[in-house]
Amino acid sequence: MSSRKSWTLPYIIFSAIFVIIPLFLIVVYAFTDDSGHLTLANFQKFFEHPEAINTFVYSIGIAIITTLVCILLGYPAAWILSNSKLNRSKTMVVLFILPMWVNILVRTLATVALFDFFSVPLGEGALIFGMVYNFIPFMIYPIYNTLQKMDHSYIEAAQDLGANPLQVFLKAVLPLSMPGVMSGIMMVFMPTISTFAIAELLTMNNIKLFGTTIQENINNSMWNYGAALSLIMLLLIAATSLFSTDDKDNSNEGGGLW
């Protein structure tokens, strides 16, 4: 127990209980029926129901829109926060990160109350607003962290070579900040596609996302079908993660900014 390897034991136990075993159970339930026999009927049921497929595609669309809006709003915010000429107070950074300290359900309920106060109808627009509001800190922080650690000698070199501010941004700042952008995309896209509480509260349960479908099946004791839907969503997230990793590797192998 005095060796360094023994310090990993608590993490191994934690991962086994809260990660490996739950994932194993999802796979088992997804490929079995109520009697415990192996079957692909759960996946067949998904592909034979247009409503489930439409919900899945719609959820991906909402996740993409949310991610794009978070990039458009989060990148300039992160750049301003990391620029010492535009932001001289660390308090601004805390204010942007502060929403992450509040439970996402509390923030969503506050958004619903705000819309009610201003008589704004709840629906798809409110859903996207709520998604962006809840997840934009997860886009800002990784980009801000990357910009903070950026080697500014590249920027100075670009300026010395006669590049204008736009060229400096496109040729130096943006490529160097892409790891933060990719991390932000993953941190926004993955929870957005699987969330259900935000959709239920901001649309009065009139718009269903894929997470809502999974929740309804689990609540109705349809564990096998719900597990199959969960596995499909996990495979999508895993594919997105692998794509993100490949992009990072390719950018690192590029060897240059120009």
Residue 252 has pLDDT above 70, yes or no: no
CATH number of the domain enclosing 151: 1.10.3720.10
Domain count, the chain: 1
Residue 219 domain flag: yes
Q: Kindly indicate the confidence band of residue 256, based on its pLDDT and cuts at 50, 70 and 90.
A: very low
| CA distance linking residue 139 with residue 79, whole number of Å | 12
Residue 43 domain flag: no
Residue 122 domain flag: yes
What's the pLDDT score for residue 9? 83
Residue 253 domain flag: no
Tell me the chain's radius of gyration from C-alpha atoms. Answer: 22
pTM over the 0.85 mark: no
167 Cβ neighbours under 8 A, 6+ residues apart? 158
Residue 256 domain flag: no
Q: In which domain, by residue range, is 190 found?
A: 53-244
Residue 1 domain flag: no
What's the pLDDT score for residue 230? 92
256 Cβ neighbours under 8 A, 6+ residues apart? none
Residue 13 domain flag: no
DSSP H helices, 149-256, are 153-160, 165-168, 174-194, 197-202, 210-219, 223-254
Helix %, strand %, coil % for the chain, to 5? Answer: 80, 0, 20
Residue 199 domain flag: yes
76 Cβ neighbours under 8 A, 6+ residues apart? none
Share the mean pLDDT of the chain.
Answer: 85
